[in-house]
Every structure is written in structure tokens, then in C-alpha cells.
Amino acid sequence: MHDKFGNLTGWDLEGFHSGGDTEAWRRLGSHVVTVHDDERGDLTGTRFAVWAPNARRVQVMGDFNWWQGDDMEFVPGTGVWATWKEGVGVGTQYKYKIQHGDGSWQEKVDPYARFADTPPGNASIVWESDYEWGASEQEWLDKRSQTNVYESQMSIYELHLGSWRKGLTYLELAEQLPAYVKWQGYTHVEFMPVMSHPFTGSWGYQVTGYFAPDARLGTPDDFRVLVEALHAEGIGVILDWVPGHFPKDDWALGRFDGTALYEHADPRQGEQPDWGTYVFNFGRNEVKCFLVSNALYWVQQFHADALRVDAVASMLYLDYSRAEGEWVPNKYGGRENLDAIDLLRYVNKHLYARTPGVVMIAEESTSFGGVTKPTNWGGLGFGFKWNMGWMNDSLRYLSLDPIYRQYHHNDMTFAMVYAYSENFILPISHDEVVHGKGSMLNKIPQDDWRKFATLRTFYSFMWSFPGKQLLFMGQEFAERAEWNEQEGLEWWVDSLPGHNGVRQLIRTMNELQAIHPALHQLDCEPEGFRWMNANDAAHNTYSYVRLDRDGEIIACLANFSSEPYPEYSVFLPKAGAWRQILSTDAVEFDGTGLYENVEPVIAVPSETDDPDAWASATVSVPPMGGVWLRYEG
């Protein structure tokens, strides 16, 4: 007689029910395991285990039994049904057939499946990885664990794998993407969700297979090849993760055993009206285990370097997108979702403790306090937060005709009021170039010359402003069209005048940022930034300096008017020579090249006895142009 549960016991599931199992995928789901039979010796097959505490009966069905259900048995006292099937191995497709309390039956995919069929198919697939990471991968992980990410350069290239170069598989992407990203000088890629999802138009944000990489592009081990190829070129991998909500597809997580199992039972807390989805029941121990295990799974098993948590604001507030009377206050009468806050702290704290060098990033669109403060200081424990306020303000400013920008000058300076309240990433993401918002180039008014020149200036402002940078694919070569996941990028324009100039500028700024610590080392510290002139609204011009710990100083000027200023007066923090290291109007960026500071700018000492008095200088600033000057002494 062999073990009918495939070596799974009630003791194994105690942590799952108490909320302490952070690798629940090792116990639940499908696993190829060997069991011992008293008469036949060791036997190999697959253990199936699924949590469905309110089901009357559960069967497993698949291509191993001609899709006829075989009964599973209740593991006593656990709410989990399990069975072991001899001879079933990797590649087997399966589903669970669950009988509800009212007697009705429903087919469900495995919440813990590590591979799934290619849509429109949805069957779960038995999978065991035999991937062997190379020696260089361990070197990457060791280096990552020793890196101070806050004081390091972080220039992120966000992309949708299915449409970056449409039609490429994970293996083909592994051959092409790392070389391009490295050539552009980015330090990280950020993938929109790679988890299994049925509807392409959701871009992966409505997940049905939380543990399964999207099969449209290949197998889980193919995805590992892509991650390792990026690491081999020194490029970190950030994955978007969606713990806030999930879709209502009747074959997925929703009403899994006929009851609200993964979602909150009360629709005022368990449904997200904006997206027509269910909201996880964050206070339920088994759901907490599902989510924390999933986060750790991608970091641990696929070597992701960071998770960017989507739609955090929708998790934090009970009244998010709900009218009066459509939400339930917390036990103190407030609007904060205390269970979600506890979950986020739990996930962040656990991942930072388990995986040295990992980074947790919040897409949080409100002013919720302490998003990037440590959990033991009362914060949520994220490493970085997307600066949505900076993004909204700056894009509003950019869309104005230059003649009106002087009346909205504070749109570009306001971010400094709160710049050090959190550790920020400055995002120009996919959300800003879809659904009628226009591409970055087409947000800018007037003719092509002004569009391209203004965009180059904006990018120079963004790359020199405190915070890490994120840019969505296609915007690095000023794609004209909105992004469309069905079409892919317009790669044929990237070598044309204007477009190529923007791409060369991004590459150059990434190189300069890597070389000069003043442009990244103190992104999260107020000592790294000083205004030269924050109030020159009349000239639509901003000027400031960036500093590092060792005395490097870089002066940055951004002129958003169409007027050139060949003798623009500024005060610089030190007297002496300042050498131009960047002009967005340079010929190599398809600019005019007419307003270069060919010779060093000389800052003349103040005539006062004040040792802290700034020195005066005259700088040539092109129309709709950005200039960076480095202090040479």
C-alpha cells in the first residue's frame, strides 16, 4: 500500500492555515513525487492538492484519465483535497472538478499551477523545472545583495513582452532584448505582468495563473533563460505583480469552491467596480499565504530582482472608487483597509529578509504616509514608490503651448516640496501613452521641430531630477502612435531624423548618469539637490545643481520656451570652470548645434566676503533645450 496523498500530511498544512506558510506552492498544486509502495517499491507520479474547504466533492481530470474525474480525498482537518496519480508526469494537462454545496459541478484550473495552457486554452499543466542556472548567475545574485540600490543608478526600461518586437518568444527575446537594453544604457527592465492571463487586452493585469508564466511566449524555463540573459549583461529584472484583485472568469479563482474563498464575501469589500474584478480577502490566512508565497516564488524561483506592486491605492482604501454607502469602514471607523496594510507589510518584510538585494516598488497614487518607510517605523516597507504627482504635473506642463507655460511654472517645481518624503521613481509608463492620451511626442503642441526639441529637454530634466527614472518602450525613440499591444512598436522610425536623436540622447544620458554619481547617488537625500533658480517663469526655464558625497557638482538647465538665451545669467555654487557635458540641442541629437558652450563656462566669485556666496556666470541655453555643466575646479 502506498501513500494516497503523495507524502502530504495535515502537519504540512498547518502553516498554510495559520498564515505562516510563505512557500505554499510547494505543498499545494501539482508535484511530481515518488512514493513508496510496500509491494512494488518506489513509484513515481503526480500529487494533486487543492484547497476547497466548502466543496462536497473534488475530482481531478486530465489527459491522463480522458478528462473523466477521479475522486480526490479530504486531508483530515485541513480543507485541502489531495490524491496521487501513478505515472502522471510533466506536461500533463489537468483541471479540478468541484461539486458545490448545492450539488452543482464546476471545472476549475489549479490556483497553484506552475504552467498553464496557451489561451484560449486554460488547462493547468504539471511542471517541474530542470533548469540549471549558470555560475555567472550566482555572481549576479551575490553582487545584488551587496548593492545599495538607493545610491546606485536605476534607469528602468518598461516593456510589454508580447509587443516589444511582436511575435518573439522568451528564447528569441533572450537573444535580442539584453543587447538592446545594454546598448541603450538602462540598468533595469520592468516587465508588465508575465503571469498567465486569458485576455491580451488586460496586458497581464487580470491574472488567472499567479504561479504560471504566460505560455504564449514559451515555457517557465524559457522565461528563466530570458532572465539569466539579462543578468549576464548586468541588467536587473523587475516584474509587475497584481495582488489587489483578480478577474471573474468562472474557471479561475472566483467563487472557487462555490463560496467566496479567495475574495471577500461582502461585495462592498470583495469587488472592484472600476475593473469588474474580485478583491482578495486580505485578512484570510490562506489567502495571505497564497499571496506572500506568490511574491517569494517569482523572486526565489525566477531570480526577479524587484516586484512592482500594481494598484496599491486600491488595496489601501476601503472606499477606493466607491460612493458613500458602498463601502464598509474598518473597526475604527476609518477608510484604511487594515488587512491589506498588514499584508503589504508582511510581504515586504518577508521578501527583504529572505532575498538579499530584492527591491519592492509601490505604484501608489495617493499621499498615503510612509509607503517607503520601514515596517518597524510604522511604514509599509516598500523600497521605492512611483511619483505619480510628478508625472501628472510635468505632463500637464508639457502639453501647454510655450506661451502659456509661464503661468504654470510651479507644475515643474512642486515635486520638490515632497521629494524626500518617500524614495521615488519618476515614471513615464505605459499608462501615459494609451487610451487616447497620445504618445509622448504627440502630447507636445506645435510643429515637429518643437515637439522633438521639447521632448529632448523634458527627458534631460527627468534624467537629472531627484529620483530614479522609468520610461516605457517606444518613448525612447519618440514613437508617434499610441502604444497598442496588438500592433507592436514602430521600429521603422527609430533611425529617422528626430526619432534617432531622441534615442541617442537617452543613451548618452544613461551613460553620463552611470559615470557621474552626482546624477544618482543622492536621489533620496536632500543634500543631493539645490535650486539655482526655481522661479524664472518669464523665461520658462529651470536651473538647479546635483551633488554627490565626494564633491562632484553638475549644474542642469532646462529651457521650455522657443527663445534661445545665448547669455543666460545664473549663479553657480562654486567659482571656476564649468564644462558642458550635455546639450540636447547638439547635432548628434538632431538639434541645431548653434548654442553650444564650446569653451568652459567661467563662474566669477562674488565680491562679498561671504564664503558661501554663489558665483555668477553666463551660459548659452538653446531654445527648447537642456544643458548640463560639470564643475571642473
257-292 tens-digit pLDDT: 999 999 999 999 999 998 999 999 999 999 999 999
Predicted confidence (pLDDT) per residue in 537-573, tens digit: 999 999 999 999 999 999 999 999 999 999 999 999 9
CA distance 528 to 534: 16
Cβ count near 217 (within 10 Å): 20
Tell me the pairing of strands 541-547 and 553-559.
antiparallel
CATH class of 11-125: mainly beta
Told to judge if 310 belongs to the known catalytic residues of this protein, a careful annotator would answer yes
Strands 529-536 and 541-547: antiparallel
pLDDT at position 318 over 50: yes
Q: Of 221, 286, 363, 590, which is the active-site residue?
A: 363
Name the pLDDT band for 4 (thresholds 50, 70, 90): confident
Position 611 confidence tier, pLDDT thresholds 50, 70, 90: low
**C-alpha dist (Å) from residue 232 to 178, 192, 368, 563:** 8, 21, 37, 46
Q: Look up the CATH architecture of domain 152-386.
A: Alpha-Beta Barrel (3.20)
Pair type for strands 359-362 and 73-75: unpaired
What is the tens place of the pLDDT at every residue in 371-402?
Answer: 999 999 999 999 999 999 999 999 999 999 99
Q: What amino acid occupies position 429?
A: S
The helix or strand, by DSSP H or E, that contains position 226, with its residue range, turns out to be helix 220-232
Distance CA 178, CA 489 (A): 17
**Structure pTM?**
0.96
Contact 58, 72 (CB under 8 A): yes
CA distance 175 to 173: 5
Residue 69: which residues within 8 A CB-CB, separation 6 or more?
A: 59, 60, 61, 97
pLDDT tens-digit series, residues 59-87: 999 999 999 999 999 998 899 999 999 99
- Backbone φ and ψ of 222, nearest 5°: -60, -40
Question: How far, in whole angstroms, is CA 463 from its chain's centroid?
Answer: 18
Q: Is the peptide bond before 356 cis (omega within 30 degrees of 0)?
A: no
Residue-range domain boundaries for the chain? 11-125, 152-386, 390-422+440-475+491-633
Cα–Cα nearest to 461, from 390, 399, 551:
390
The amino acid occupying position 483 is W
What are phi and psi for residue 71, nearest 5 degrees?
A: -65, 140
Closest CA to 186 of 476, 458, 557, 431: 476
- The average pLDDT across 203-207 equals 96
Domains 11-125 and 390-422+440-475+491-633 share a fold: yes
Please, which residues have CB within 8 angstroms of residue 172's CB and are 6 or more apart in sequence? none
Average pLDDT of the segment spanning 242-270: 96
Q: Is 585 labeled as catalytic in the residue annotation?
A: no
Parallel/antiparallel/unpaired status of strands 277-279 and 209-213: unpaired
Identity of residue 245: H
Strands (E), 467-552: 468-472, 529-536, 541-547
Using the CB atoms, write b or e for 222-238: b if 16+ within 10 Å. Answer: bbbbbbbbbbbeebbbb
Rounded CA separation 380/116 (Å):
33
Residue 311 · residue 245 · CB < 8 Å: yes
> What residue type is 256 in one-letter code?
F
Phi and psi (nearest 5°) for 210?
-65, -25
The mean pLDDT of 576-605, rounded to a whole number, is 96
Is the pLDDT reported for residue 41 higher than 90?
A: no
**312: three-class secondary structure by DSSP:** helix
Candidate list 310, 364, 422, 536, residue with the active-site label: 310
Q: Give the C-alpha separation, 303 to 189, whole Å.
A: 13
Q: Which tens digit of pLDDT belongs to each residue from 163-184?
A: 999 999 999 999 999 999 999 9
The count of residues in the chain is 633
What CATH number does the domain located at 390-422+440-475+491-633 have?
2.60.40.1180
The rounded mean pLDDT for the chain is 96
For residue 1, what pLDDT band results from cuts at 50, 70 and 90? very low
Numbers of helices and strands, H then E, in the chain: 12, 30
* pLDDT tier, 609 (very low <50, low <70, confident <90, very high otherwise): low
502 phi, psi to nearest 5 deg: -65, -45
**In sequence order, what DSSP letters do the residues of 193-215 get, joined into one string?**
P-EE-S-GGGTT-S-SEEEEE-G
Q: Out of 11-25, 30-44, 88-102, which region has the weakest mean confidence (pLDDT)?
A: 30-44
**How much is the pLDDT for 37?**
81
- Quote the DSSP letter at residue 604: B
Pick from 152, 239, 160, 154: nearest CA to 427: 154
